[in-house]
Amino acid sequence: MRSIGELARDSGLGVSALRFYDRAGVLVPAWVDPVSGYRWYEAEQLEEARLLARLRRAGMPLPDIRLVLAGWSGADTDLVRNLLRAHLCRLEDGLSDARREFSALRALLDHRENAMASLRTATVQLSGAAPELAAALDSVRFAVSTDPELPMLGGVLFDIEGGSLHVVATDRYRMAVARARTAGHDGSRVQSIVPASLVDAMRALLDGEGPVRLSVDGGRVTLEAGDRQAAGHCLDHDFPDYRRLLPRDAGRRGVVEVAAFRQALETGPVRCGEDGACDLSVLRVEDGGTVTLCADGDGDPNRVAVNRRFLLDALVAGARDRLVLEFGTPTAPIAIRRPDDETTFSILMPVRLED
CB atoms within 10 A of CB 22: 16
Q: Are 133 and 192 found together in one domain?
A: yes
| Predicted local confidence at residue 240, as pLDDT | 87
Mean pLDDT, residues 219-234 taken together? 93
Q: Are 275 and 228 found together in one domain?
A: no
Q: Among residues of the chain, what percentage have pLDDT more than 70?
A: 92
Is position 9 within any domain?
yes
Using CA atoms, how far apart are residues 222 and 216, in angstroms rounded to an integer?
7
Task: Return all residues near 9 (Cβ < 8 A) that are at least 6 apart.
Answer: none
Flag the least confident range among 18-27, 176-185, 273-282, 293-302: 293-302
Task: Return all residues near 136 (Cβ < 8 A) that are at least 6 apart.
Answer: 165, 167, 178, 179, 180, 344
**CA atoms within 13 Å, Cβ hemisphere of 258:** 18
- pLDDT, mean over the chain: 88
* 232 vs 301 pLDDT, higher one: 232
- Which pLDDT band, with edges at 50, 70 and 90, does 225 fall under? very high
Q: Are 196 and 133 found together in one domain?
A: yes
Cα–Cα distances (Å) from 123 to 152, 188, 189, 346, in that order, read: 21, 11, 11, 29
Looking at residue 268, its amino acid is G
**Domain ranges, residue 231:** 121-243
Q: Are 277 and 315 found together in one domain?
A: yes
Q: Are 251 and 164 found together in one domain?
A: no
| Predicted local confidence at residue 175, as pLDDT | 95
Mean pLDDT, residues 95-115 taken together? 81
* 138 vs 75 pLDDT, higher one: 138
Per 3-state DSSP, the chain is made up of helix, strand and coil in percentages (nearest 5) of: 40, 30, 30
Closest to 15 measured CA to CA, from 24, 6, 25: 6
pTM of the model: 0.67
| Predicted local confidence at residue 130, as pLDDT | 95
- Which pLDDT band, with edges at 50, 70 and 90, does 354 fall under? low
Indicate the number of domains in the chain.
Answer: 3
Q: What pLDDT, in 10s, does the model give residues 89-104?
A: 999 999 999 999 998 8
Q: Are 30 and 138 found together in one domain?
A: no
Is position 93 within any domain?
no
Is position 49 within any domain?
yes
Q: Are 143 and 200 found together in one domain?
A: yes
Is position 332 within any domain?
yes
Q: Are 231 and 260 found together in one domain?
A: no
Using CA atoms, how far apart are residues 175 and 180, in angstroms rounded to an integer?
17
Mean pLDDT, residues 268-290 taken together? 81
Using CA atoms, how far apart are residues 336 and 346, in angstroms rounded to an integer?
5
Q: Which of 226, 243, 260 is the last residue of a domain?
A: 243
Q: Are 158 and 257 found together in one domain?
A: no
Name beta bridge partners: 110: none
CATH number of the domain encompassing residue 319: 3.10.150.10
Dihedral of alpha carbons 67, 69, 70, 74, sign = positive
Q: Which of 217, 243, 269 is the last residue of a domain?
A: 243
Is position 111 within any domain?
no
- Which pLDDT band, with edges at 50, 70 and 90, does 116 fall under? low
Q: Which of 88, 113, 129 is the last residue of a domain?
A: 88
| Predicted local confidence at residue 29, as pLDDT | 92
| Predicted local confidence at residue 70, as pLDDT | 84
Flag the least confident range among 17-26, 75-84, 190-199, 215-224: 75-84
| Predicted local confidence at residue 298, as pLDDT | 54
* 22 vs 300 pLDDT, higher one: 22
Q: Are 253 and 340 found together in one domain?
A: yes
| Predicted local confidence at residue 119, as pLDDT | 53
CB atoms within 10 A of CB 77: 10
CB atoms within 10 A of CB 265: 20
Is position 287 within any domain?
yes
Res. 276: pLDDT tops 90: no
Flag the least confident range among 106-120, 263-277, 327-341: 106-120
CATH number of the domain encompassing residue 62: 1.10.1660.10
Q: How far apart are the first and last CA of the chain?
A: 22
Is position 94 within any domain?
no
Q: Are 187 and 285 found together in one domain?
A: no
Q: What pLDDT, in 10s, does the model give residues 13-55?
A: 989 899 999 988 889 999 999 888 899 999 989 999 999 999 9
Is position 96 within any domain?
no
Q: Are 171 and 201 found together in one domain?
A: yes
Dihedral angle, C-alpha 343, 168, 170, 121, nearest 10 °: 150
